Every structure is written in structure tokens, then in C-alpha cells.
């Protein structure tokens, strides 16, 4: 065998090893879990990313107890609810009330919000592209909402103004100071840093450890062809929903470990 051929054969073997690494291995000589090559996107399905699951019938979700919400039957991912429970308990001990107004939303739910706004007289004076863009100031196109993931929640009021004085300001300041240590981040900040997408939402908090994995898989699995089946869906390409909105977020300060 000449040297060139040897190289090709060895290189081929090397390539096979690399390819095999990404596949689940049988139980022979398993790596410790922390070192095992894991592809989180194998466990995060397209349906989970697009909100096409019923949280009432899915073990990954848990109903939010009446202690933390006045809504009936709203759901969060199990670990998100756990983290919220710790945070809201700590807040309550300091006299700060945190109530969840909205949690996991299915694709169908998001579609009903979107279509209702689309047909609302408030938005009907606009040409379709501008109408979509106006609705997108505060609402997501179905299939692009972080609420689909069960990782994000809305707290106390859906008006920024509420959080700018009195009790609302106290609640917001408490969250700014403490939320990150429980893993929660306000992903839609004031945009002074050049963030694109939705306007500021002082009520919307995201559980970073889970949401971060969802976002990574979303960008790997979902494309704009997924936006279909609702009013104005044909404008999703021009509006660049994924690059402008889905990735238009503020991240958890990396120096804070939840």
C-alpha cells in the first residue's frame, strides 16, 4: 500500500470515528454522562419548538399552582416552575408578589392572538406588511414565540408603565436584582444596546438554562417555511422573523450562575 493510499484509508477511518461519535453508542464502555457527546436537539422536537404539543398531556410540563397565578390551567416546563417557585417564594418573603399572567402558549393559542390582532380595527388601517410589523411590536407570529417552549412567562402586568412606579416598580427592581440568580432574564430589554425585534417587555421573563437550549435547537431545526397557517404568514420572509425577532433577545449575564 503506498503512502497516499494509507493516508486516505486512515483519514477515512478517522472520519468514521467522528461520525460515530455523534450517534448514541450501545452500552459498551459508556462515557460518564458529563463527558458523553450529547445532542440536546434529539430530545427537543420540532413540535416542542413550535408549540404543537398539549402541555396537559406531556410530562415535561406542570400546571402552575393557584399560589402563583389567578389563571386556571396554565403550564410551564417542570424545571422552570421549580425555579420560579424558589424565586417567587423568596420574593414573597420580602413582600414582593409575583403572579404569572401567561406561561406556555400553544401554536393554536398564539394563532388566535395573532389573528385577533390582525383583524382588530386598531391594525386594519395599515397595509399588510406594516400591519404585521405593528403587531410584532409586542406579539409573535405563531411558531416563533418563546412562550411555545414553556420556558418564558409574563408577570404581574402587560404594561411597561405599571413597572415604572409604586408597587410595580418595586417588583421590577426586585426582579432586576434577583431574577438572574434563579436563572430568569428579561429577554426583551430597552433596545438601547441595538437589540432588534420586539419592543421592551418588562413583564416577560425567560428561564435561561432551558430556553438557551431551545433557542439553539430552534435555529438548527426551524426555518421560515414553518410560518404558515395564519393571517399575514406570507410576510414572514420579508420581516425576517428568525433573525430579527427570535434571535432579537438580551441574554443572561454570563457572570451570573443560576
Which one of 77, 111, 148, 204 is in contact with Zn ion (CB under 5 A)? 204
Residue with smaller CB distance to Zn ion, 145 or 226? 145
Please say which residue, 131 or 204, places its beta carbon nearer to Zn ion: 204
The three cell numbers of residue 71 are 389563571
Least Cβ distance, residue 164 to Zn ion (angstroms): 18
Shortest distance, position 185 Cβ to Zn ion, whole Å: 13
At its nearest, how many Å lie between Zn ion and the CB of residue 105?
8
Piece of the chain touching Zn ion by CB under 5 A; list 119-127, 200-208, 218-226, 227-235? 200-208
Is 200 near Zn ion (CB under 5 A)? Answer: no
Q: Is 105 in the site for Zn ion (CB under 5 A)?
A: no
- Cβ proximity to Zn ion: between 127 and 172 the closer is 172
User: Would you say 242 and 223 are in contact if contact means Cβ atoms under 8 Å apart?
Assistant: yes
- Alpha-carbon distance 31 to 13, whole Å? 21
Q: 154 vs 200, which CB is nearer to Zn ion? A: 154
- Nearest approach, Cβ of 98 to Zn ion (angstroms)? 14
Residue number of the CB closest to Zn ion reads 204
Query: Which is closer to Zn ion, CB of 32 or CB of 246?
Result: 246
Residue 206 CB-density burial (10 A; 0-12 exposed, 13-18 middle, 19+ buried):
buried
Total residues interacting with Zn ion, rule: CB under 5 A: 2
Kindly report the backbone phi and psi dihedral angles of residue 68, in degrees, each rounded to the nearest multiple of 5, phi listed first.
-110, 0
- Binding window for Zn ion (CB under 5 A); candidates: 48-56, 175-183, 196-204, 222-230: 196-204
Query: Is 231 a binder of Zn ion (CB under 5 A)?
Result: no
x/- letters, 133..172, toward Zn ion (CB under 5 A):
---------------------x------------------
Quick check: 112 and 82 in contact, CB under 8 A? Answer: no
Inter-CA distances, 26 with 19, 31, 38, 182, Å: 15, 11, 14, 36
Binding-site ranges for Zn ion (CB under 5 A): 154, 204
Amino acid at each position: 500500500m503506498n503512502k497516499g493510499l494509507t493516508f486516505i484509508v486512515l483519514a477515512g477511518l478517522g472520519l468514521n470515528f467522528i461520525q460515530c461519535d455523534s450517534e448514541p453508542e450501545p452500552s459498551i464502555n459508556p462515557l460518564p454522562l458529563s463527558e458523553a457527546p450529547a445532542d440536546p436537539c434529539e430530545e427537543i422536537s420540532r413540535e416542542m419548538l413550535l408549540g404543537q404539543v398539549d402541555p396537559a398531556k406531556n410530562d415535561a410540563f406542570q400546571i402552575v399552582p393557584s399560589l402563583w397565578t389567578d389563571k386556571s390551567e396554565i403550564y410551564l416546563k417542570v424545571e422552570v416552575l421549580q425555579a420560579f417557585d424558589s424565586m417567587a417564594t423568596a420574593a414573597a418573603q420580602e413582600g414582593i408578589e409575583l403572579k404569572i399572567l401567561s406561561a406556555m402558549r400553544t401554536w393554536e393559542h398564539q394563532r388566535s392572538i395573532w389573528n385577533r390582532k390582525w383583524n382588530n380595527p386598531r391594525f386594519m388601517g395599515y397595509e399588510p406588511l406594516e400591519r404585521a410589523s405593528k403587531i410584532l411590536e409586542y406579539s409573535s407570529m405563531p411558531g416563533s414565540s418563546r412562550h411555545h417552549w414553556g420556558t418564558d412567562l409574563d408577570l404581574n402586568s402587560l404594561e411597561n408603565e405599571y413597572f415604572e412606579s409604586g408597587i410595580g416598580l418595586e417588583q421590577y427592581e426586585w426582579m432586576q436584582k434577583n431574577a438572574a440568580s434563579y436563572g430568569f432574564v428579561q429577554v426583551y430589554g430597552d433596545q438601547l444596546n441595538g437589540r432588534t425585534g420586539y419592543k421592551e417587555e418588562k413583564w416577560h421573563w425567560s428561564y435561561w438554562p432551558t430556553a438557551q437550549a431551545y433557542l439553539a435547537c430552534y435555529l438548527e431545526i426551524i426555518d421560515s417555511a414553518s410560518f404558515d397557517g395564519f393571517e399575514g404568514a406570507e410576510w414572514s420572509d420579508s420581516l425576517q422573523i428568525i433573525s430579527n425577532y427570535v434571535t432579537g433577545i438580551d441574554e443572561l449575564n454570563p457572570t451570573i450562575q443560576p
